[in-house]
Amino acid sequence: MKLDTVAGKKVLITGAAMGLGKLFAARAVREGAAAVVLWDINDAALRETAAELIAAGGTVRTYAVDISDGDAVASAAASVRVDVGDIDVLVNNAGIVRGNTYFWETEDRDDIDKTMAINSLAPMYVTLEFLPAMVAGTTEARVLTISSSAGLVHNPRMSVYAASKWAALGWSDSVRIELEQAGHGHVKVTTVCPTYINTGMFEGAKGFWLTPILDQHKVVDQSWTEMKKGTPVVILPWTSRLNKALSGVLPIKLRDLFLNTVGVYHSMDDFSGRK
């Protein structure tokens, strides 16, 4: 079933202080959400974003949360249930990327731990806090998880990030099927797999064959629209779908040759990340 609007719904967004998260929050406010709950580790930026959204007419609650810490997630979720109530729309947006080195050049294991914790485990922990109430309810509910096209193909200089996004995609789409199998059709799960987006997170990364750096506003608009429709998986842009399809049918050597030739395998060569 399609959800026409989030008006009157309670929406929670992780990584909400900036980038895609801030845009998702603004979208929820514009549609008249009953409450927009913002989670982010950056308390100062979180408060600035909340002030803007409140000035725009939104009912906003903020929580400074380190979602890499499962106990912190549980504590914050308990506070949300007391302060706001059950969540109708959950946007798992928070994510990080570290370095552009080859895997064996990793100097700090904390980079591995943080990447897997925030990109893979956190969406599971956060969703587990709010999904049971969605399932028990009878109204339309949604879970939107931002994965990555790095979860569809292999890519040098981002092996840990790719691993985290493969995990996020595999988990998210499996939960979608579980809900369908159990007959909970009022709860829909959408997983979005975009290529590089101009939020600054992937500063220095290069677009490749027919695949420019994506505009964050367009990504949010399409993700939001497809989430309300209940679309299972959204892959942006079309060339990323093509790369995935070819990766599934070509022999490995030809696949590697193709992805190397079109520039995928060198897209992280000059990555610097957000300053």
Secondary element (H or E) of residue 193: strand 187-194
Q: Residue 176 has which token pair?
A: 């979608």
Residue recorded with tokens 């595999």: 170
One-letter amino acid at 79 equals S
pLDDT for 270 = 87
- Separation between Cα atoms, residue 98 and residue 164, nearest integer Å: 12
C-alpha to C-alpha distances, 145 to 33, 105, 188, 216, 239, nearest whole angstrom = 19, 30, 11, 15, 21
Any idea which residues carry the catalytic annotation? Answer: 161
Q: Give the list of residues 6+ apart from residue 251 with CB closer than 8 angstroms, or none.
A: none
Is 48 strand, coil or helix?
helix
CA 8 centroid distance within chain: 23
- Separation between Cα atoms, residue 225 and residue 66, nearest integer Å: 28
With CA atoms as reference, report the closest residue to 234 among 220, 221, 223.
223
- Separation between Cα atoms, residue 80 and residue 198, nearest integer Å: 31
Asked if residue 48 lies in contact with residue 22, where contact means CB atoms within 8 angstroms, the answer is: no
Question: What torsion, rounded to 10 degrees, do the Cα atoms 84, 85, 90, 94 define?
Answer: 50
Asked if residue 62 lies in contact with residue 46, where contact means CB atoms within 8 angstroms, the answer is: yes
- Separation between Cα atoms, residue 87 and residue 12, nearest integer Å: 7
pLDDT for 131 = 98
Question: What does each of the 275 residues of the chain score in pLDDT, given as a tens digit?
Answer: 689 999 999 999 999 999 999 999 999 999 999 999 999 999 999 999 999 999 999 999 999 999 999 999 999 999 999 999 999 999 999 999 987 789 999 988 999 999 999 999 999 999 999 999 999 999 999 999 999 999 998 889 999 999 999 999 999 999 999 999 999 999 999 999 999 899 988 888 888 887 889 999 999 999 999 999 999 999 999 989 888 898 889 999 999 998 999 888 999 888 887 75
> For the chain, which domains are there?
10-266 (3.40.50.720)
